[in-house]
Structure 1
Amino acid sequence: MAIVAETIETSFGLLGKIILDKPKALNALSTDMIESMQVALDDWATNDEVKAVWVEGAGEKAFCAGGDVVMLYHSMKETAAGDVPAKATEFFTKEYKLDQTIHEYAKPVIIWADGIVMGGGLGVAVGGSHRIVTERSMIAMPEVTIGLYPDVGASWFFNRMPGKCAEFLGMTGARMNAADALFTKLADFAVASEDKDHVLQAIASSDGTHDGITEAITTTQMECRVHESALWMNYELINELMAPTDLSDVVAQFEGLETDDKWLSRAKASLLGGSPMTLALVREQIEMAKHMSLDEVFAMELTMSVQCAMHPDLQEGIRALLIDKDGTPQWSVSSVEDITDQQLAEYFTKPEGMTK
């Protein structure tokens, strides 16, 4: 099962508590974990005694480092060309349903996003009503390195970020800290990791309403200044780098970027070494989702993700990073200039073998 779902008695009734409990795997989500979380949330949604939900990751290192991409690799590997990979499709379908459930949950969902929060972990975290980061939070959507694209509702939350931050984060997989998360609206509060028990106690002593929980968390907030955000510090440069309408010009700007800044250097290396198809998908998904509802966003992303599982780059990216670990993926296209409109359109076209 790899999650713990329990209820805690508080002054306002019951607090549902979910712990992602696979610390050795940095609490990466398996299909079983997603199913178990869905069952718990569905049960508590109709239980009048449960007034709010708290979600955290086990161990000191991670809230959740993403999805089980090795499972995705094997699902793709065992599927004939042109067929829909069944296990990958099941995983994405259930993952996005869970993410949407959290976004739309009628009761407060408090997320303790301490440590690593990547990919699918951010998908779980960002939908909460009260999203807490700490000085140890390290947040990213690094799909460009494996030939996927920022999914789990990123098409939705990317469109709510300032300036060109979303394109930059999606194309570089750049890492964010607590200040970055507050700046990009991925988090609501910053609390010191050592104050976790204190904040939980404050919530348990509150009235359990949305405003009551907000007040309780506010009493334990740590100071988190905007100038601690690399995104804010480099905001003008980021907007300049991402400004060209032609994607090949964006790549050229990164190629010409000279910097001693380690954070920017890492972002540059990820964009230039990542999947060119991902770069195109990031720009397209943001544009297409501008006026979409949450329902429409997750439906679009399910199509995109299944298509990624049917195209070669995702399998190749996971192989190079996590299976053979040679770090030399052979992408299906060598540059963004090689991508045709027809190739890009395929990723937004529902495959024939997809039932939903």
Structure 2
Amino acid sequence: MSDLPVIFETLATADGKHIGVARLNAEKSLNALNLPMIDALHAQLQRWEQDDAIAAVWLEAAGEKAFCAGGDVVALHAGSAAYGEQLPDDSAQTFFEREYRLDHYLHVYPKPLIVWGSGIVMGGGMGLLCGAPVRLVTETTRMAMPEITIGLFPDVGGSYFLSRTPGRAGLFLGLTGAQFNGTDALYLGFADGFVPQAEKAALQHHLCAAKDWSKDAVFQHVLGFCNGFSDQQPAAQIEPHQAHIDSVCSGDNLLATIDAITGYDGDDVWLQKAAKTLARGCPVTPFLVQKQLQKACELDLADVFRMELTMAVNSARFGHFKEGVRALLIDKDRSPHWTPATFAEVQSAHIDAFFEAPFSVHPLADL
């Protein structure tokens, strides 16, 4: 097996062109994104963009367990500050800047780009998937934006795609980190087609037979293949809960919303888990989620990524992120010592500070 962070191949098409295949290659870490992966993928996508022989790009990952379980937050832990301390270096800002540049590039990529989002797709994986014009899910797809568990916020464009979901679903998912499947992804607008995992090779063969390589034509060509599998989709989780989600997330009083979600006392396992995750989460994160989604409704895509980089660097500066990662993934004691310690203690000044740019010239000003 290659030890390259991303493996690149090509598939020959019927008309003599090629499809560039990029495969994230960190199966043991569930293809968690690190800087070598980000840099290699971005550079190759740029080369393929300029190569007339490349008609389209297919992005997948090694193994069947995960497309991408998120960013390599354990590596980011070392470059983040504990409460009251200074950042040890600029590694956190470098990582977030390059990750967001890649995510933004996927959104504006000029050639057809198909992402095979099978298995776990969380955090940074959602950023890769949601940026593509053709997003595919399978029966094993398991998605989430679980940043509340580590003192971060739904980044990688989460402000943009969560703010554009049906009803109040985006807010609920950002607050609770609730997991959802491929059927839910289609409903939320995070995916375009469902294909059983076993049909990947058949789909690639079908794609290679395309004659028109415009984005719209490839989109329709791929979705035509997907149409035969709707009866194999897993049972929906979001849409059946939409009325409840809209009810508990109604209004602008966030503390009331938190109480409504965490106070659930029914027997629905999905809602029970969502309630527990929120109750144990970083007290600052829900307030960040509410504000970032409100602001994103009035921002274009580039401004969203600029806002999120400001928030991400401040998250690395202020201590919440380092403490969350420590408790969940470093010491694994699952007992984070948050500051502030409760939702009720969070003040507007705490939240406003996350949106104040810590740089004189924004690193993403050129997007």
Superposition CA RMSD, Å: 1.8
Partner of 2:340: 333
Q: 2:75 aligns with which of 60, 71, 77?
A: 71
How big is each residue's C-alpha offset from its partner over 1:69-108, in whole Å with a ceiling of 9 and x where there is no partner?
A: 0011011259992447411111000000000000000111
- Higher mean alpha-carbon deviation, 243-252 vs 295-304, is at 243-252
Alpha-carbon distance in 2 for matches of 1:231, 1:30? 31
Structure 2 letter corresponding to 1:278: T
Q: Report the Cα distance in structure 1 between the residues aligned to 2:246 and 2:356, rounded to whole angstroms.
A: 30
Per-residue CA deviations over 1:149-180 (Å, capped at 9, x if unaligned) read 00000111112101000000000001110111
1:228, distance to aligned residue in structure 2 (A): 2.2
SS at match of 1:234: helix
Is the counterpart of residue 216 in structure 1 residue 245 in structure 2?
Answer: no
Give TM-score scaled by structure 2 length.
0.93
CA drift of 1:227 comes to 8.8
Q: Which amino acid aligns with 2:35?
A: T
Change in Cα spacing, 1:85 to 1:279, as seen in structure 2 (3 Å) is farther
Aligned counterparts, 1:193-342, within 5 A = 193-207=197-211, 208-221=213-226, 222-223=229-230, 228-342=235-349
Q: Which amino acid aligns with 1:290?
A: C
Question: Kindly tell me: are residues 150 and 85 of structure 1, through their superposed partners in 2, closer, same or farther at Cα, counting changes over 3 Å?
Answer: farther
Does the alignment pair 1:15 with 2:19? yes
Give 1:255 deviation, angstroms.
3.2
**8 Å Cα contact 1:83/1:353 also seen in 2:** no
1:355 CA drift (Å):
6.0
Corresponding position of 1:61: 65
- Describe the shift of the 1:142–1:209 C-alpha distance in structure 2 as closer, same or farther (beyond 3 A): same
CA distance in 2, matches of 1:116, 1:251: 27
From the superposition, tell whether residues 334 and 79 of structure 1 become closer, same or farther in structure 2 (CA, over 3 Å). Answer: closer
Q: Give the aligned partner of residue 134 of structure 2.
A: 130
Which runs of no fewer than 5 residues in structure 2 stay unpaired?
none
What amino acid sits opposite 1:335 in the alignment?
Answer: T
Aligned residue pairs: how many?
356
> Shift of residue 225 of structure 1?
8.4
Map of 1:160 onto structure 2: 164
Taking structure 1 as reference, are residues 327 and 309 closer, same or farther at Cα in structure 2, changes over 3 Å only? same
Structure 1 portions without partners, runs of 5+: none
Look up the equivalent residue of 1:209 and give its one-letter code: S
1:244, distance to aligned residue in structure 2 (A)? 3.2
Aligned-partner residue type, residue 139 of structure 1: M
Name the stretch that deviates more: 334-343 or 275-284: 334-343
1:171 maps to 175
- For the pair 1:104 / 2:108, whether they are aligned, the reply is yes
What is the alpha-carbon distance in structure 2 between the residues aligned to residue 209 and residue 200 of structure 1?
17
1:351 to 353, 358, 362: 358
Letter in 2 for 1:306: V
Query: Which has the larger displacement, 260-269 or 191-200?
Result: 260-269
- Deviation sequence 1:265-303 (CA, Å, 0-9, x none): 111101110011100000000001111111100000000
Code of the residue aligned with 1:238 in structure 2: it is: I
Please say if residues 85 and 310 of structure 1, whose CA atoms lie closer than 8 Å, have aligned partners that are also in contact: no
Distance 2:234 2:77 in 1: 40
The whole-number CA distance in structure 1 between the counterparts of 2:140 and 2:256 is 35
Q: Residue 152 of structure 2 contacts residue 285 of structure 2 at CA under 8 Å; is this kept in 1?
A: yes
Q: Deviations over 1:224-265 (max 9, x none)?
A: 589922110010000011113211111211232112111111
| Distance across 2 between alignment mates of 1:50 and 1:227 | 34
Distance 2:360 2:84 in 1: 12
1:188 pairs with one of 189, 192, 195: 192
Letter of the 1:48 counterpart: D
CA contact (8 A) 1:84 1:351 kept: no
Deviates more, 1:114-123 or 1:246-255: 246-255
Does the 8 Å contact 1:144/1:170 carry over to 2? yes
Contact 2:262 2:278 in 1 (8 A): no
Aligned partners of 1:83, 1:315: CA distance in 2, in Å? 11
Matched, 1:27 2:34: no
Question: Which 4+ residue blocks in structure 1 deviate beyond 4 angstroms?
Answer: 77-80, 224-227, 352-355
Higher alpha-carbon deviation: 115-124 or 74-83: 74-83
Contact 1:60 1:115 in 2 (8 A): yes
- Residue 143 of structure 1 aligns with an amino acid whose one-letter code is E
User: Contact conserved, 2:31 with 2:61, CA < 8 A, in 1?
Assistant: yes
Match of 2:47 in 1: 43
- Matched letter for residue 216 of structure 1: H
Closer/same/farther in 2, CA of residues 158 and 355 from structure 1, 3 Å limit: closer
Distance in 2, matches of 1:316 and 1:204, equals 48
Q: 1:218 deviation in Å?
A: 2.8
Q: Which residue is 2:124 aligned to?
A: 120
- TM-score (norm. length: structure 1): 0.96
Residue 27 of structure 1 and its aligned partner are, at CA, apart by: 0.5
The code of the aligned residue for 2:214 comes to T
